[in-house]
Structure 1
Amino acid sequence: MNLKIPGALLLLFLSACAQILPKPTADADKRAERSQAAGKSKLPSQDLTAPMLFDFLLGETALQRGEQDIASRTYLKLARTTRDPRVAQRATEIALHSRQPVMALEAAKIWVELDPNSVTARQTVAALLVNADRLEEARPHLEKLLASEGGSIDEAFMQLNSLLARNSNKSATFELVKQLAQPYPKLPEAHFAVSQAAWFANNFDVALAEMKQALALRPDWEIAAVYQGRILARTSNASALEFYEDYLKAHPKANDTRITYARLLLAEKDYIKARDQFQKLLEENPGNADVALAVGLLSLELREYDTAELNFKRALELGYRDPGMVRFYLAGIYEKTERIDAAMEWYRSVTAGNQYIPAQIRYAILLTKKGKADEALQYLQQLPATNNQQRAQLIIAEAQLLRETGAYQKAFQLLSSGLEKLPDFAELLYDRALAAEKIGKSDIMEQDLRKLIQLKPDHAHAYNALGYGLAEHSNRSRLPEALELIEKAIALSPNDPYILDSLGWVHYRMGNLNQGLSYLRQAFGMNPDPEIAAHLGEVLWVQEMKEEAKEVWRSALENNPGNEALINTMKKFMK
């Protein structure tokens, strides 16, 4: 029997199917609605035959059962049969969801043929052709899309490279964007699109020329200024900095450009100029907590603690999204400036966030410095840890307090217990190695550090600690191996004063006195650490520069009156 159902019933059935369709995305605009309205008059007068009804039911049942391939093939068949744009749209969406690009493209072509005014249909066809690297076929669809944009063509060009991003042939994409932009020589967004496509195709000269053209057409367009600077920075940060500086003189309220300029200054380690730029941003945006924090951090880097403190407090007043981090920095300022009680109060005020555990550890360390080691240990032991990283942090902090009170054996045992539960935690391995070295277990020190190097081949301090440990606790035959390890460490971290200290020390132990002295002077100049001072003084003494050695030791002792390594070295030579 050939059952026929009137066209009105077909519309009712399609409406029911539409309830299962995904809702339109937020960027579905009024143009799409207008195209749908226009398309309603072109809907086919189609009766629902029994075979069609069967296919509709088969397709929907397959969808409900997760049989995507059957659903895609069935709806594509219906799109061909019914010649209804709504069915073609449904077929396209199902094929896309099922990751069937060939069927999706055929369905989308039927859809755009039946509803040529549909922006969504044409965008879908263009995107599928681009993804299939069929750019020449995509071009007429993209041209029609651009022509249909009218007053929104600027937005269309700004989105063009996003649409084309999945195509791996960047040179062909660049040529396509150039062709699409050619009819719009006075549109800055068209030049911007060409510049971006040229950048992705590694054609940097064209990228720069096109971005300059975009900015010439629209001089106050900040995004073009930001990108022009980035293109310049590819070959010369100095050129980019000069460009940003000139642009900001002409456009002093260009905040995005100023932020980019400040970040580039940071990358160049020009902290004073960077801080000045953020200060100007703060003057322009007095209610911006992020800018206040940036000024505070730069002031902290420059050791301008009063300015840093003022801006951190301003960030808190303005409701910065991570108050715990700001409170942690404030506590650090008070600690650096020897306002210990205030530092402890601010550390305790960190009650949540990523800085919670580090803040409580610093509080416990300060308790220890005030002679309350037992109270500090109890405080650490009662802190809640919510993950393994925090558990490891607390174990390491407790071990540090034990070492500071001379309880090296207890520190070693605590770290060993931690490694039983967390055997591959790099921080625990490193700290136990140091603790093992302190109690004469050089075999465990070497074992832990070699395992750490295996786990983290770029861990500079693991190589350094192992090299230094071998130099200190093995016979002279292992000194070349120690030197090789420390040279590996310095290659990974060339400006680390502690590694430079180790390098100087091992050269001294090998009899290379001049080399040793040179590295130790560098290390001490970068960081007048008491242990570096002990090493430098010893080499100076052996080189018969005894007065300089005494001065190095005395100055270090004034700042670190209880340092064990420094005191023992001085006793060894100044009898």
Structure 2
Amino acid sequence: MKPIKTTLLWATLALAVGMPAIAAGDALPGRPQKPTTREPRRIVPEAVQPRSGDSSGGELTGQVVYQVLLAEVALQRGKNDFASEAYADLAVRTRDPAILERAIEVASYARRFDRVLELARLWVQIEPESKRAQKVLAGVMIMTNQLDGLAPELIRMLEADKESLPANLLALNRMLARSPDRQAVLQLVSKVCAPFLGLAEAHYAVAVAASSAGDQQRALGEARQALVLRPDWEAGALLEAQILGSKSPAEAIASLQRFVDRYPKAVDVQLNLARALVGEKRYAEAKRQFEHLLVAYPNNPDVVFPVAILALQENDQALAEAQLKHLVTLDLADKSAPYYYLGQIAEEHKASDEALAYYRQVGAGEHFLPAQLRSASILAHQGKLDEARAELRAAAEKSPSQRLQLTIAEAALLRDAKQTEAAFDLLEQALSQQAAQPDLLYESALLAERLGRLEVMETRLRKVIELQPENAQAYNALGYSYADRKLRLPESRQLIEKASQLAPKDPFILDSLGWVLYRQGDLEGALTHLQRAYAERPDPEIAAHLGEVLWTLGRKDEARSILREAQKKDPSHEVLMEAVKRFSP
């Protein structure tokens, strides 16, 4: 049996315990990786030979071959524990390194890590100079979280691979990410790095461990010491900023800015500085930073895309469109995002066909669903309802996981086309397959209300509340339906107040609360809530409610002003049109 060869120390160690290979240079520890479930490679009986100097001869070889065959057959039949036990017994009796390695592999596959550790220790005892044995033992100790006494082993392994020492130091924390005891990891990393503190990477590794253990003061000190040793090291600068950012984003930004001032060609730090400025909503500064980068790196997608998005945020559509069009000409693995935003820009310019062409180039991912919904909406507004529905159904075939949202969107198209019965029937069909799906219940309840099927509406909204007790919209919809019909007003108010507790800043819930107070005769209370709602969201229905309350209070000029202003924005809204007719001369 040949030992696994690799150029990286930690890749070998990782393979020894069924872990994925670790890439050098990783920063803070990532999520623990799941152990591999692949079946271990099978050993061939011919490869099992007596060790040099073994006097047992053919008899032992015959026993070995028989037991290996027995274990391999058991492994093939899924009897992993039996196979592991057979190999472990054989390894202890023969003390053969090849059999020990196979026994460790099978024990790992059988999830018998106690046995893996015992066999690895035996291997090191038999071959104390074997680097492979040392790596396997260290890997198993890490996997089983037995960190005490591991430092000498890791130091020896690091010293044995001087060429890869910096990269292996950077990978230490990723190796130890499985351990839940972050303080123990910090102690171990500190001991392991102690002989190598002349290297910036050693201080970096200690800084990462300290940050993960919650010792931010030490982490910051170690990160800064790494920068003393390597002043122009971008990874060190980013780590320092990350540690500072956990308490003060402003300090992190200042740290990055100082580094950029000293090393203006530090692209990664400049990018992170610009992103940090965006995170703090310092858009003008971020835009300037990206524009500097754009001059130096006009064909770097990591520069071009953020410039385009910032331009969109600042409503500079000409710059955004130019950069997005440039972006789709670059070597970019996934161009869905730029195509989606180009579609939005085209829509705003009333270039519907151009927008459709862009949306149809959006592939799988986070922009797929909104692109399909926008495409369908454009087609529906063009009077092509059947084509819009066909596109949504085709999208559902491409992305079954989004079928629910696409079905609800199709129902919305039918509702907006005044085909309420057809919309309700579509959701009914979906509910026949998913009777307890909250979104289908909610949307079909709203359609049932439009159709005057109040009992269906009430039953389904109460079912949603039962399934999702924290669903503010379900409480609000049921409470508002009562208030609007002047039914069960105390219960209506109770439902809406519950919704308000769950979502206190929702303007539509504020509108409902104002409306139920109006129905109960509390005009001043109603006015307060409706004014807040309208300030948050100048929606036509909220405007209609606010206008009616102002009119009832005798403030008729204000009522007319509110209604006229809302009508300019949405002249075809039914509730608003009715209010305008009633309260305008």
| Shift of residue 269, structure 1, vs aligned partner | 3.6
Tell me how far 1:487 sits from its aligned partner.
1.0
In the TM superposition, 1:345-384 aligns within 5 A as 345-348=357-360, 350=362, 355=367, 358-373=370-385, 376=388
Query: Normalising to structure 1: TM-score of the pair?
Result: 0.84
Provide the C-alpha distance between the structure 2 equivalents of 1:371 and 1:22, rounded to a whole number of angstroms. 69
Matched, 1:239 2:248: no
Q: Deviations over 1:395-439 (max 9, x none)?
A: 333322332233333322332233223334443223212212222
Which residue of 2 is the match for residue 222 of structure 1? 234
1:45 aligns with 2:53: yes
> C-alpha deviations, 1:347-404, integer Å up to 9, x for none?
4555776655654443342233344556655766777634555443443333223322
- Which one of 462, 467, 489 corresponds to residue 476 of structure 1? 489
Return the alpha-carbon distance in structure 2 between the equivalents of residues 286 and 236 of structure 1: 32
Distance 1:179 1:151 in 2: 21
Distance of 2:467 and 2:331 partners within structure 1: 41
CA distance in 2, matches of 1:410, 1:300: 38
* Selected match of 1:442 from 454, 458, 461: 454
2:512 is matched with which residue?
502
SS in structure 1 at match of 2:264: coil
Offset from partner CA, 1:151-196 (integer Å, 9 cap, x none): 3222222122223233332222222222222223322111112122
* Structure 2 equivalent of residue 392 of structure 1: 404
Q: Secondary structure at the match of 2:323?
A: helix
Contact 1:461 1:489 (8 Å CA) reproduced: no
Q: Are the counterparts in 2 of residues 79 and 110 from structure 1 also a CA contact under 8 Å?
A: no
Give the match for residue 93 of structure 1: 105
| Among candidates 512, 517, 528, match of residue 538 of structure 2 | 528
CA distance in 2, matches of 1:522, 1:276: 37
Equivalent residue, structure 2, for 1:329: 341
| Corresponding residue of 2:68 | 59
Q: Does 1:152 align with 2:164?
A: yes
Q: Distance in 2 between matches of 1:412 and 1:480?
A: 28
The answer on whether the counterparts of 1:233 and 1:240 sit within 8 Å (CA) in structure 2 is yes
SS of equivalent to 1:338 = coil
CA distance in 1, matches of 2:410, 2:145: 60
User: What stretches of structure 1 of length at least 5 have no aligned partner?
Assistant: 1-17, 33-42
Alpha-carbon separation, structure 1, partners of 2:12 and 2:451: 77
**Residues 471, 478 of structure 1: 8 Å contact kept:** no
Which amino acid in the other structure matches residue 569 of structure 2? Answer: N
- Whole-Å separation in 1 of the counterparts to 2:522 and 2:262: 58
Per-residue deviation, 1:231: 1.7
2:576 match: 566
Cα 1:59–1:514 change in 2 (3 A) is farther
Query: Structure 2 vs 1, CA of residues 137 and 52 (structure 1 numbering), >3 Å: closer, same or farther?
Result: farther
Q: Which runs of 5+ in 2 are unaligned?
A: 14-50
Asked whether the 8 Å contact 1:380–1:394 carries over to 2, the reply is: yes
SS in structure 1 of the partner of residue 196 of structure 2? coil
1:169–1:394 distance in 2 versus 1, CA, 3 Å: closer
Task: Specify the code of the residue in structure 1 equivalent to 2:421.
Answer: Q
What is the CA distance between 1:558 and its match in structure 2? 1.5
Give the distance between the partners of 2:73 and 2:288, measured in 1 at CA. Answer: 61
Tell me how many residue pairs correspond in the alignment: 543
Contact 1:325 1:353 in 2 (8 A): no
Give the structure 2 partner of residue 557 of structure 1. 567
Kept after mapping to 2: 8 A contact 1:289/1:314: no
Distance in 1, matches of 2:467 and 2:153, equals 53
* Alignment-derived partner of residue 439 in structure 2: 427
Question: Structure 1 residues 314, 75: CA separation in 2 closer, same or farther (over 3 Å shift)?
Answer: same
SS at match of 2:178: coil
Q: Quickly say closer, same or farther: Cα 1:352–1:144, change in 2 above 3 A.
A: closer
Secondary structure of the structure 1 residue equivalent to 2:195: coil
User: Runs of 4 or more off by more than 6 Å in structure 1?
Assistant: 28-32, 351-354, 381-384
Q: Is the 8 A contact 1:253 1:284 kept in 2?
A: no
Sort the Cα spacing of 1:357 and 1:195 in 2 relative to 1 into closer, same or farther, 3 A: closer
- Residues 201-223 of structure 1: CA deviation (Å, up to 9, x unaligned): 22222122212222222122222
How far did 1:81 drift? 4.1
In structure 1, distance between residues paired with 2:446 and 2:541: 15
Equivalent of 1:268 in 280, 286, 293 = 280
The answer on whether the counterparts of 1:467 and 1:485 sit within 8 Å (CA) in structure 2 is: no
1:153-172 equivalences in 2 (<5 Å):
153-172=165-184
Displacement of 1:141 in angstroms is 1.1
Decide which of 486, 492, 495 is 2:499's aligned counterpart.
Answer: 486
State the alpha-carbon separation in 1 of the partners of residues 218 and 390 from structure 2: 65
- Aligned CA-pair RMSD: 3.2
Q: Is the 8 A contact 1:161 1:193 kept in 2?
A: yes
In structure 1, what residue type is equivalent to 2:451? Answer: I
TM-score (normalizing by structure 2): 0.82
Residues 191-340 of structure 1: pairs in structure 2 closer than 5 A:
191-340=203-352
Distance, in Å, in 2 between the alignment partners of 1:149 and 1:247 is 32
Distance between the aligned counterparts of 1:267 and 1:385, measured in 2? Answer: 37
| 2:137 aligns with one of 87, 105, 125 | 125
- The residue number in structure 2 matching 1:106 is 118
Change (3 A) 1:370 1:553: farther
Structure 1 residue 289 displacement after superposition: 3.1
With over 3 angstroms needed to count, the CA separation of the structure-2 counterparts of 1:362 and 1:479, relative to structure 1, is: same
Distance 1:266 1:500 in 2: 31
Q: CA deviation at 1:104?
A: 1.9
Q: 1:251 to 1:362 in 2, by over 3 A?
A: same
The aligned amino acid for 2:496 is L
Query: Is 1:540–2:550 an aligned residue pair?
Result: yes
